[in-house]
Amino acid sequence: MKSGSVFAKAWWLIIHEGPAEMLRRASWYVRNRNWKDICLCFSNKHVYQLWLKRELARIKEKLSAAMGDIEALIYKPLISTILPLANIEIKYLEQTLNSVLRQAYPCWELCAVATDKINPYVIEIYKKYQSIDDRFRLSFISFNSGVVQVANAALSMCVGEFVGFLDCGDELAPHALLEIVKLLNREPKIDAIYTDEDRLNNKNKRSRPLFKPGWSPDLLLSMNYVGRYLAVRKSLLDKLNGFREDVEGVHYHDMLLRLSELTKNIVRLPEVLYHRRSIPDWALYKAKDAKELSCKGQKIVLNTLARCGIDADVWLTGEGHFRVKYHLKEKPLVSIIIPTRDKINLLTRCINSILEKTTYKNYEIIVVDNGSIEKETKVYLDKLKKVSGFVILNFDEPFNYSKINNFAVEHANGDYLLFLNNDTEVITTEWLEEMIALAQKRETGAVGVKLLFPDGTIQHGGVIIGLRGIAGHAFYCSPADKPGYMDFAVVCRNYSAVTAACMMMRRDVFYEVGGFDQELDIALNDIDLCLRVINKGYYVVWTPYVLLYHQESKTRGQVLSKRNISYFLNKWEKFLDNGDLFYNPNLSLSNGEYRIKL
């Protein structure tokens, strides 16, 4: 239930039946509903304040145990943090410096750089901290130095094995560096770590948390979702020669893209360890023009693709959002596999939409008839047999979705396989071009799309593993044009799984992972397939730029088999225990709207 509908109902009851009746019903609702479900009726803005109360108590416990945790560390690297000094209010500068000074982990240095245009009081305050603690270091650079030059000067000062990035006014959580080093002790091969973050207003109230997904290369091409706090191995930053001056304003995004070409050992630490100051009156870098920054953003994404030998265009789709239009290397044959059993109205609508709207021409349609008995269906399929580009197969066994599709693949001629439900309808004319373009990438294992209900709301926006105990669709029933949490519903991104109601794979990947698991005859077979794709080192990609209608009933929902559920849970127990890498453990698994978990 949406928060708006809750308050609307409460107001209606007050007007029509009186405050007493409204309170009586509200009391019943609270008694009979899980507290976590009730919280889902409210916005993340309100729930975050409740979350913070619990989190602050947890942090207090962590800090109490910090000394023992530090003694237990085998690896204790020096963490350098760079701080380009800015002309800000004294209280905000002091809060930034105090947040570093209060770090539970002792092996750190703060490398600050000032230009001649920095006000003397800022230098004076910083030197006061230097006199207290020699881990505060300071260097100067000429007046005309830009933001990137200042950052690079700070980098040159660093002697730590890892380097983090901090802006004036922002704050680190007191356990930030300790949590990072603890993770490095657990996983010593990590080359970069990024954390969750939130916002601080001028009254130091925290809000607007960003609970980020794990490392997502396709999402990074779409937007800089990584943000702060970010700690990177110094040797890799040296290989990159720091930040590039010609992309000032988007230099962090550029650095991340270049870093991703050197290493894949980039890990998300799902804790809010960075607090970004939200004050509009000042900034180290003031954007001259949003359009100019957007053009620079397009440039860095395009440059990344060019360095990787990928032929593509980059389109601006929103402020800081980019769409990569990959060029097709070739025009391979696509085998569109559609299982069906009667329901001729659905099948004809699906096939007609393919024939009428698809601009890509090199495809075949394989219809697998699983025991149709209606005369109208048989007449229609007999007609299709005579049409070029159609293959009609009969699968005369009890329904088993996995067996049906594996059987169809054996008869498919295409190097690209598109699994499609018979209750779908094509909206986007260039749907096959877009899906092939993503599927042709060497690192891509499967491609899914945005599916809509006939009323225009989202039926499938990607799959979240663990949702309601098993798995479910992101942004289910949200408006199609709603950007969603962190704008994830409108950008190309990575998921652990997508639905096979419309899913494309290369044939070689399909065979490499062993096809559909035939033990999963009714449900969860597509999710199982995607998880095996992930285990082989591929990425699953979801694109919002391909739209199809999916007629699946909102009220009926997905039909699940108890046997399938039991089999799936046993098979993927460890994955479920670890949590969905492309989600965040601080977000609720009660629904797919990216609500904060309490």
Helix (H) or strand (E) run with residue 119 in it: none
Residues 74 and 31 in one domain: no
Residues 442 and 560 in one domain: yes
Closest alpha carbon to 520 in 394, 339, 399:
399
Q: Are 384 and 355 in contact (CB under 8 A)?
A: no
- For 191-195, what is the mean pLDDT? 99
Question: What's 494's domain CATH number?
Answer: 3.90.550.10
Residues 138 and 173 in one domain: yes
The phi and psi torsions of 82 (rounded to 5 degrees) equal -95, 145
Establish if 88 belongs to a structural domain.
yes
What is the model's pLDDT at position 281? 42
Q: Above 90 in pLDDT, residue 126?
A: yes
Strand 192-200 with 266-277, pairing: parallel
What is the model's pLDDT at position 550? 97
What is the model's pLDDT at position 24? 58
- For 68-79, what is the mean pLDDT? 98
Residues 123 and 229 in one domain: yes
- For 393-416, what is the mean pLDDT? 98
Residues 92 and 38 in one domain: no
**Which range, of 61-75, 207-221, 468-482, 545-559, averages the lowest pLDDT?**
545-559
Where helices occur in 430-495 by DSSP H, the ranges are: 431-439
User: Rounded to an integer, what distance in angstroms lies between the CA atom of residue 432 and that of residue 355?
Assistant: 12
Residues 142 and 249 in one domain: yes
Q: Are 468 and 590 in contact (CB under 8 A)?
A: yes
CA angle centred on 71, ends 68 and 75, rounded to 5°: 135
DSSP letter (8 states) at residue 65: T
Residues 13 and 136 in one domain: no
Establish if 472 belongs to a structural domain.
yes
Closest alpha carbon to 326 in 461, 441, 448:
441
Residue labelled with tokens 């453990």: 585
CA dihedral 171, 191, 534, 309 (to 10 degrees): 110
Tell me what percent of the residues of the chain surpass a pLDDT of 70. Answer: 90
Residues 40 and 166 in one domain: no
Q: What is the mean pLDDT of the chain?
A: 92
Count the helix, strand and coil residues of the chain and give each as a percent rounded to the nearest 5.
Answer: 40, 25, 35
Residues 35 and 74 in one domain: no
What is the model's pLDDT at position 559? 64
Residues sharing a CB contact under 8 Å with residue 525, sequence separation 6 or more, in sequence order: 401, 402, 500, 516, 517, 564
Residue 87 exposed, middle or buried by CB count within 10 Å (0-12, 13-18, 19+) = middle
Residue 120 exposed, middle or buried by CB count within 10 Å (0-12, 13-18, 19+) = exposed
What is the model's pLDDT at position 278? 82
Could you tell me the pLDDT band of residue 44, with boundaries at 50, 70 and 90? Answer: confident
Q: Above 90 in pLDDT, residue 571?
A: yes
Residues sharing a CB contact under 8 Å with residue 31, sequence separation 6 or more, in sequence order: none
Establish if 15 belongs to a structural domain.
yes
Residues 149 and 34 in one domain: no
What is the model's pLDDT at position 285? 43
3-state secondary structure of 250: coil
Q: Above 80 in pLDDT, residue 573?
A: yes
Q: Where are the beta strands (DSSP E) in 90-243?
A: 108-115, 136-141, 162-165, 171-172, 192-200, 206-210, 230-233
What is the model's pLDDT at position 584? 98
Strand 136-141 with 108-115, pairing: parallel
- For 437-457, what is the mean pLDDT? 98
**Which range, of 179-183, 263-267, 522-526, 548-552, averages the lowest pLDDT?**
548-552
User: Rounded to an integer, what distance in angstroms lies between the CA atom of residue 539 and that of residue 532?
Assistant: 11
**Which range, of 201-210, 271-280, 395-404, 507-516, averages the lowest pLDDT?**
271-280
**Which range, of 2-6, 55-59, 431-435, averages the lowest pLDDT?**
2-6
Residues 25 and 77 in one domain: no
Could you tell me the pLDDT band of residue 12, with boundaries at 50, 70 and 90? Answer: low
Q: Above 50 in pLDDT, residue 2?
A: no
The structural domain count of the chain equals 3
Establish if 302 belongs to a structural domain.
no
Q: Please give the residue range of the domain that contains residue 463.
A: 334-578
Domain boundary among 256, 286, 316: 286
Q: Above 90 in pLDDT, residue 547?
A: yes
Q: Give 135's Cβ-side CA count (13 Å radius).
A: 18
- For 325-341, what is the mean pLDDT? 97
What is the model's pLDDT at position 405? 99
Closest alpha carbon to 132 in 113, 110, 151, 153:
110
- For 431-436, what is the mean pLDDT? 99
Tell me what percent of the residues of the chain surpass a pLDDT of 90. Answer: 85
What is the model's pLDDT at position 517? 99
Q: Are 475 and 592 in contact (CB under 8 A)?
A: yes
**Which range, of 118-132, 172-186, 286-300, 532-546, averages the lowest pLDDT?**
286-300
Could you tell me the pLDDT band of residue 481, with boundaries at 50, 70 and 90? Answer: very high
- For 212-232, what is the mean pLDDT? 98
Residue 74 exposed, middle or buried by CB count within 10 Å (0-12, 13-18, 19+) = exposed
Residues sharing a CB contact under 8 Å with residue 296, sequence separation 6 or more, in sequence order: 247, 248, 249, 250
Establish if 545 belongs to a structural domain.
yes
**What is the pTM assigned to this prediction?**
0.91
User: Rounded to an integer, what distance in angstroms lies between the CA atom of residue 487 and that of residue 510?
Assistant: 31
- Tens digit of pLDDT for each residue in 229-272? 999 999 999 999 999 999 999 999 999 999 999 999 999 999 99
3-state secondary structure of 525: helix
- Tens digit of pLDDT for each residue in 459-477? 999 999 999 999 999 999 9
Number of DSSP helices (H) and strands (E) in the chain, helices first: 21, 23
Q: Above 60 in pLDDT, residue 283?
A: no
- For 341-364, what is the mean pLDDT? 97
Residues sharing a CB contact under 8 Å with residue 527, sequence separation 6 or more, in sequence order: 463, 465, 471, 497, 568
Establish if 292 belongs to a structural domain.
no
Establish if 371 belongs to a structural domain.
yes
What would the DSSP string read from start to end of 378-390? Answer: HHHHHHHHTSTTE
Establish if 428 belongs to a structural domain.
yes
Strand 206-210 with 192-200, pairing: antiparallel
Q: Above 50 in pLDDT, residue 398?
A: yes
- Tens digit of pLDDT for each residue in 203-217? 999 999 999 999 999
Residues 251 and 380 in one domain: no
C-alpha pair distances (Å), 35 with each of 2, 29, 63, 176: 15, 10, 29, 30
Residue 15 exposed, middle or buried by CB count within 10 Å (0-12, 13-18, 19+) = exposed
